[in-house]
Amino acid sequence: MISLIVYLVEVSAVLAILYALYWLLLRRETFFSFNRFYLLAILLLSMLIPLLDIDVLPIERKEVQQPIVDLTELRATIYNSFTDWANPSESKRLLNDSLKSNEVLEKSRSQPLLVSILLMVYFLGLLTVIVRLLVVLIRIHRFKKSGHLQVIQKLNVVRVPELIGPFSFLSIVFIPKEMKEGADLNQVLAHERIHIREGHSYDLLFVQLIAAGLWFNPLVWQLLKSLKKTHEYIADKKTIDQGYSLVAYQSLLLRQLISTNSFGLIHHFNLTFIKQRIAMMNIQKSGWKGKVKVALSVFCAVVFSLTLMQCNTGIDEQVLQESQSSAAIEANDGVDVPLIPASHFKLRDHSTTVNLTVDNNTVTVNGEVVELEGLTSLIEDISEEKYAMILRIDRNQSMSLVREVQRELRRANRLKVLYIGQTAEGQMSEVPIKLPPLPGSNSKFYVPKIDDAYAKENNLSLLKIRMSENTGPEQQQQVYNFAKEHVAQQNTNYVVSARFSDSDTYGQYLESIYYLQKAFYQLYEEQAQSKYGESYIDILDKADTSDKYAEIYSNLKKEAPMAISIAEDYLE
């Protein structure tokens, strides 16, 4: 049901943009037949584009791809927002215990009811429009039954006993019984013949059915009015082109003007926008400026459509990746770890490791649930300082608990941490980090508090990063530019200070760490290629078995130290 809501929102958005093009560029032009098909195409494209996913723009240039990426992320965010809003059980799982007030929980419980009400209102509106459509069809059928059918000028004409304005539907023309044969009737029949021959009733049937599904959108009803006007412009023009006098024809329109309602499915000869019809008959035929507007509208519509289809491809790929990654949850002890790209790090020795999981505010060590207060003593009992702590943490876990787990590890002096994420394909991605020792501990590695005062005192260049802000790739580029500038000046007196708050999620935290490290790996790769003609990854792989490559690896790290300070105790 949420997919239906999102689909209707996207259809409405596409309809709004394409109809705006018509309104701004085409509605005053005399290319009536083109306008007719453009209006119909608006509805078709609006319904189809959100469903199509065609990779039509395989261009790698950033200025082309970035708008598509941004729009794709926006649409994915909107979809996720709808999904989270409509699934309170999932939303509640993401809330920190301290935020679970009665008011929030009550709001979560009411969400399914709100969704049900929305859907009920939508389907009631849909049913109302369809019933109204059937009423019109029944009324037309009654006109046919109560009237007298005769063939005039090879047209099926029904004379209706009621006082109505002449109109046509499908292949039948309806006129009032009192209307006598003569010049006026000939012009009316010539006009209605155009409607019948052009199949305008089928246009209106199609639009009415689409409008039933989009009844809540006022633009679809405005589009219907625009289409009916365009049909009348076409019929008026082609009637005049047959040789009828313009003055006589316009006079007939004024004489036939009867106060009556226009049904959605029929073309009245004397619709209430008669002034606009007369104005269009007298307007000068659109010239080269009008043709430019037509070309511009087509170009904009095509580019917009292709862009959205490209976005659909990106969203489908994202959905596919998420579905693939969900299959890998079982391989991560049932923990929904964050999605990150593949890392170049692989822990070779798993004999000296301890497995920790944090999921749903529960801490597990080697498969056994433990209380936070007893974590330090347990870790000290089952491991040594050289052991690596392998952490599998749910991507939506709040950092408040993660920070407490890290504090216990620091208290036990187990500082080697290997965070586990997974790629879109479900492969494990390992991110190593060394936690700073607690202040006052016996560790020989003293880590000062990195702040503005310390940076000023030590002439330290400081780049501040908020781990919950921006996207990972943006942070990577920012850190890369920062580090590269200092390396070019042979200055290693710099630090990237990354901070998080308790309200951040672990997924944001790990993604940020991954991209901060990747910025330095990117720099190492460039340095390795330019100085040694080899890949940094190859150098790293050979460093364990070759003194030569161990020295090269050491030099790369010295020239551009990965100076990342993570303020794990920072609070908002």
Dump pLDDT digits (tens) for 274-295: 777 777 777 777 788 888 888 8
Q: Could you tell me the pLDDT band of residue 566, with boundaries at 50, 70 and 90?
A: confident
Q: What is the pLDDT of residue 365?
A: 92
What is the pLDDT, as a whole number, of residue 434? 87
Phi first, then psi, for residue 17 (nearest 5°) are -70, -45
pLDDT digits (tens, 9 = 90+) for 18-64: 999 999 988 888 888 899 999 999 999 988 888 775 555 444 444 44
264, HSE (Cβ side, Cα atoms, 13 Å) = 24
**DSSP per-residue string spanning 275-291:** HHHHHHHHSPPP-HHHH
**Residue 323: pLDDT over 60:** no
Q: Is the pLDDT at 14 greater than 60, yes or no?
A: yes
Which regions of 373-512 does DSSP assign to beta strands (E)? 388-393, 416-422, 428-434, 461-466, 494-499
Question: pLDDT at position 304, please?
Answer: 79
Binned at pLDDT 50, 70 and 90, residue 94 comes out as very low
In single-letter form, the type of residue at position 450 comes to: I
Decide: helix, strand or coil at residue 474.
helix
Give me the DSSP letters along 131-200: HHHHHHHHHHHHHHHHSEEEEETTEEEEEESS----EEETTEEEEETTPPSSHHHHHHHHHHHHHHHHTH
Task: Give the DSSP letter of residue 436.
Answer: P
Instruction: Check residue 390 and give its pLDDT.
Output: 92
pLDDT value at residue 268: 56
CA distance 407 to 569: 9
Higher pLDDT, 171 or 84: 171
Instruction: Give the total residue count for the chain.
Output: 572
Percent of residues, the chain, with pLDDT higher than 90: 23
| pLDDT at 330 > cutoff 50 | no
* pLDDT of res. 392: 93
> What pLDDT score was predicted for residue 90?
38
User: Of all residues in the chain, what percent carry a pLDDT higher than 70?
Assistant: 78
Cβ neighbours, 10 Å, residue 116: 12
Q: CB count, 10 Å around CB of 371?
A: 9
- Stretch 306-320: mean pLDDT, rounded? 58
> Where exactly are the structural domains of the chain?
329-444, 448-572
Q: Average the pLDDT over 127-139 and give the result.
A: 91
At residue 8, the pLDDT reads 85
Task: State how far the Cα of 405 lies from the Cα of 393, in Å rounded to an integer.
Answer: 11
pLDDT for the residue 256: 60
Predicted pLDDT at 208:
92
Residue 249 has pLDDT above 70, yes or no: yes
> Looking at residue 367, what is its pLDDT?
85
Q: What is the pLDDT of residue 147?
A: 86
3-state helix, strand, coil in the chain (%, to 5): 60, 15, 30
**pLDDT tens-digit readout, 361-380:** 999 998 889 999 999 999 99
pLDDT for 247:
80
The encoded tokens of residue 516 equal 């901060």
Stronger pLDDT, 507 or 333, i.e. the higher one: 507
pLDDT at 245: 79
The structure tokens listed for 263 are: 């049904």
**For the residues 309-330, what does the mean pLDDT come to?**
50
